[in-house]
Amino acid sequence: MSDQPAHAPYDALLLLSFGGPEGPDDVVPFLENVTRGRGIPRERLKEVGQHYFLFGGVSPINDQNRELLRALREDFAAQGMDLPVYWGNRNWAPYLTDTLRELVADGRRRVLTLATSAYASYSGCRQYRENLADALAALEAEGLPLPRVDKLRHYFNHPGFIRPMAESTLAALARLPADARAGAHLAFTTHSIPTAAADTSGPAEGHGDGGAYVAEHLDVARLVAEAVREETGVDRPWRLVYQSRSGAPHIPWLEPDICDHLESLHGQGAPGVVMVPVGFVSDHMEVKYDLDTEATAKAAELGLPVARAATVGADPRFAAAVREMVLERAASERGELPERCALGALGPAHDLCPVGCCPARAPRPAAAGADSPYA
């Protein structure tokens, strides 16, 4: 019997996230990082940053990642899994490249990455992989040892993601006025992306008509709606809708927008709506502003009762799901055939992003995939 730990061959987990400003002076530099290479004037970035300034220039995302780090470390320790958890961001401190330097200095050589994005898409998967490749290239240029970096599969349909979301939807329903509750609609929201990016999301054989991005969100929406129906006995109308659109107006993006959808539901006589942000792992700025501020104001203008379900965040069941997926992936790397837990119609996602998965507009190296230059 081997005495190697159950998480072998991995010796570290990397929590990889987007990052966000932690004070007013951080806002424009952060947005410069996010938009680097696009030539957006600084004055325009100040306008875009108004969402952050409404909240004191602080994005909730970093504190939420600190909570997730705590939950992961507590879960791992309670289960006797001695796997250190590091944290790096794409666009703000702690920066990904700095975190990889720290990992290498600590002697870590096999790193498994948890991205705070549950679905397939360029911006939700491949761009993270490109940032990993950039960071590894920086370490290589410095003559540092390169760790092998893998990425956990998409977890949108793991029970540890679905069940907390279903419970938060039920809790939001309970917050609606009594006379709005019985006939309330469910509006499942996610980040809008260009339709061209949606159509090419996921493996190449599934490209077209929304690709994996739309299919995965629809599967999650069905799962949550079914769980709510089983609990309440009410089969509620629901729809997948979008938020947080940006970019040139002439480029088609996924629709309908949540605010347009609220207007439509009000016109149909819906007594109330629960907004369920299934596309987001935590209550970061796009949830706090686009739903809690903008969409809620639109609903108030219409006289339409709304409530917003909480995201999964640092729920202990999500932390346990991450641990299960770490052990699952470790077993696969050892040549075993572990059980791969998933709900819904799509089954568990791939471990290794194939060639042609979620392609970029301009080809760039990406780590942790079949086309990685750092295999």
* pLDDT tens per residue across span 65-112: 999 999 999 999 999 999 999 999 999 999 999 999 999 999 999 999
Strands 12-17 and 110-115, sheet pairing: parallel
Please state, as a whole number, how many other Cβ atoms lie within 10 Å of the Cβ of residue 263. Answer: 17
Alpha helices in the chain (DSSP H): 27-34, 42-48, 50-53, 61-78, 96-105, 127-141, 159-175, 178-181, 195-199, 211-232, 258-268, 285-288, 296-302, 316-333
| Lookup result for tokens 């289960």 | 79
In the predicted model, is pLDDT for residue 247 greater than 80? no
Question: Averaged over 140-155, what is the pLDDT?
Answer: 98
Nearest alpha-carbon partner for 221 in 287, 273, 275: 275
Average pLDDT over residues 32-50: 88
Average of pLDDT values for 284-309?
97
- pLDDT tens-digit map of 289-301: 999 999 999 999 9
**Residue 2: pLDDT over 70:** no
Region 15-30: mean pLDDT is 96
**Distance, CA of 14 to CA of 16 (rounded, Å):** 6
Confidence band, pLDDT 50/70/90 cuts, at residue 198: very high
- Percent of the chain clearing pLDDT 90 (strictly above): 93
What is the distance, to the nearest Å, from the Cα of residue 329 to the centroid of all Cα atoms in its chain? Answer: 19
The answer, yes or no, to whether residue 186 has pLDDT greater than 60, is: yes
Q: Which residues pair with 308 in a beta bridge?
A: 275
Closest CA to 232 of 181, 272, 273: 181
Q: Is 147 helix (H, G, I), strand (E, B) or coil?
A: coil
The overall average pLDDT reported for the chain is 96
How many Å apart are CA 313 and CA 71, to the nearest integer? 10
Query: Which whole number is the average pLDDT over 256-277?
Result: 98
Which among 85, 31, 43, 70 is positioned nearest to 285, based on CA atoms? 31
CA distance 301 to 259: 11
pLDDT value at position 1?
A: 47
Helix (H, G, I), strand (E, B) or coil at 104: helix
- pLDDT: which is higher, 44 or 238: 238
Assign 51 to helix, strand or coil. Answer: helix
Mean pLDDT of 190-202: 97
3-state secondary structure 162-228: HHHHHHHHHHHHHHCCHHHHCCCEEEEEEECCEHHHHHCCCCHHHCCCCHHHHHHHHHHHHHHHHHH
What is the average pLDDT across 228-248?
95
Q: Compute the average pLDDT of residues 231-260.
A: 95
pLDDT higher than threshold 90 for residue 64: yes
pLDDT for 218 equals 98
Determine the pLDDT at residue 44: 83
Q: Which residue has the tokens 């061959």?
A: 9
Mean pLDDT, residues 210-225: 98
Instruction: Give the rounded percent of residues in the chain with a pLDDT score beyond 70.
Output: 99
pLDDT level of residue 131 (50, 70, 90 thresholds):
very high
Q: What is the dihedral of CA 104, 106, 107, 112, to 10 degrees?
A: -70
User: For 165-179, 241-255, 272-286, 310-324, which range has the lowest pLDDT when averaged over its residues?
Assistant: 241-255
Binned at pLDDT 50, 70 and 90, residue 253 comes out as very high
CB 252 within 8 A of CB 289: no
